[in-house]
Structure 1
Amino acid sequence: METPSTLPSSVLADRLAAVRQNIDAAAHAAGRDSASVTLVAVSKFHPLSSVQEALAAGQRVFGENRVQEAASKFPALRATYPDLRLHLIGGLQTNKARDAVRIADVIESLDRPELAEALAKAADKEGRLPELLIEVNTGDEPQKFGVPREKADNFIRTCRQQFGNKLQGLMCIPPATQDPVPHFRLLRSMAQEHGLPVISMGMSADYPQAIAEEATLVRVGTAIFGPRPPSP
């Protein structure tokens, strides 16, 4: 069996093309323009060579969980690919806020006041602030990151006051053992209530369902890069 790091480039390119075709089909079935859905290729734990293969196949938006790993892959690629966009999608420690602000285009995991304050201070020091998404723990799972549902509305309002239009939307990761659709609908409802245009939801197993529920970002890793290698 081939490992992710030794896949022929044509395999990764074919997988990427298949995901794009599925996005087009899901958007069409939902009566949406497929251009309204952005594919975030989740490259966490996969080598730089796989990112380069995806770039060669035309992919420009990537997601990483860890700031340090993202910093080792992406800054050097921007000279060749100035339209590259990096999303940080994993739980973010406050002591990594400045590095995150320095390298990311979008931070999808804002989930608590302490992190909001750390990002605001980092933005002042760096002179830039990425777009921000609030991660909502729609399943109220204690082991997961994300603001609890009962605190989400107040936190969203506070962050709108603090960050203005840099707060672009919401993100969720539904419980793995539950039907994701009710969680997608909850997130969509919250985003609409607060007038937030970006809804990040759906992964390799359920992104067509997320598109049907008006996701504007889908985060797809395994379906593009293959099985995730062990965490370093």
Structure 2
Amino acid sequence: MSLSEITGRMAKAAANAGRSVDDLKLIAVSKVQPNERVAAVLDEGHRTFGENKVQEAAGKWPAFRETYGDINLHLIGPLQTNKARQAMQLAQAIHTLDRPKLATTLARLSDELGSCPDLFIQVNTGEEPQKSGVLPAEADAFVAEVRALDLPLVGLMCIPPVNEEPSLHFALLAKIAERNGLAGLSMGMSGDFERAIALGATHIRVGSAIFGERDYG
């Protein structure tokens, strides 16, 4: 598949849902991708990318920014508190705010640095013990806690369980966001982004369908 095929499918899914494709942001997930594949997507004009690890992002994106100018970088993997400063200096958005300690660290660093990336709270919609994210029952309280710290909270994020219908999880995330007045919904990946768009996604995260299969060797 290609970037143009993905954007075409996005436009069709948006039209089917009575939405504008302009309200959607495609995050090209470039984790573990060779630099030449990333450069090829940059050469096509795409500028919004997602990385899982701060260390990998730090080794990749400063040089690309020198060549290609403005790049909108989203951190979509679990964030360790001790990597928060580096994450804030690299990224324009962090999708994995999932605990009070990280929120207070981001607030302190925001005061110190004078800015903060857009933030999404990760919700563990499947209540999976191995997965990061606040539980759905605790999401409202955590939203209030983050807002009390005057952080730029823009939305929620989820990663549905692999063996369950993702639409159920997308609908749950959308319901939590709506009752908390949050417009951003980071949900939907290569295999299910059309369903996510139908249920209100604003940010979809697509990797292998754009770049090809990752090489973990």
Fold match (TM-score > 0.5)? yes
Q: CA deviation at 1:39?
A: 0.3
Alignment of 1:39-54 (within 5 A): 39-54=26-41
- Output the CA distance in 2 between the equivalents of 1:120 and 1:71: 22
SS in 1 for 2:94: strand
CA contact (8 A) 1:181 1:210 kept: yes
1:189 matched residue in structure 2: 175
1:120-178 per-position Cα deviation (integer Å, ceiling 9, x unaligned): 222233332111000000000000011111211100111112134x1000000000000
Q: Which residues of structure 1 form unaligned runs of 5+?
A: 1-13
1:203 matched residue in structure 2: 189
In the superposition, the TM-score normalised over structure 2's length comes to 0.96
Alignment of 1:1-232 (within 5 A): 15-164=2-151, 166-230=152-216
| Count of residues in Structure 1 that have an aligned counterpart in Structure 2 | 217
Q: Which residues of structure 2 form unaligned runs of 5+?
A: none
1:17-58 per-position Cα deviation (integer Å, ceiling 9, x unaligned): 110110011001111111111100000011222211111011
What amino acid does structure 1 have at the position aligned with 2:172?
L
Deviates more, 1:171-180 or 1:51-60: 51-60
- Output the CA distance in 1 between the equivalents of 2:191 and 2:56: 24
What amino acid does structure 2 have at the position aligned with 1:197?
A
SS in 1 for 2:123: strand
Q: CA deviation at 1:81?
A: 2.9
- Output the CA distance in 2 between the equivalents of 1:93 and 1:188: 26
What amino acid does structure 2 have at the position aligned with 1:32?
R
Alignment RMSD: 1.2
Deviates more, 1:139-148 or 1:113-122: 113-122
SS in 1 for 2:161: coil
SS in 2 for 1:163: coil
CA contact (8 A) 1:169 1:198 kept: yes
- Output the CA distance in 2 between the equivalents of 1:46 and 1:78: 17
CA contact (8 A) 1:88 1:109 kept: yes
What amino acid does structure 2 have at the position aligned with 1:186?
L
- Output the CA distance in 2 between the equivalents of 1:222 and 1:152: 30
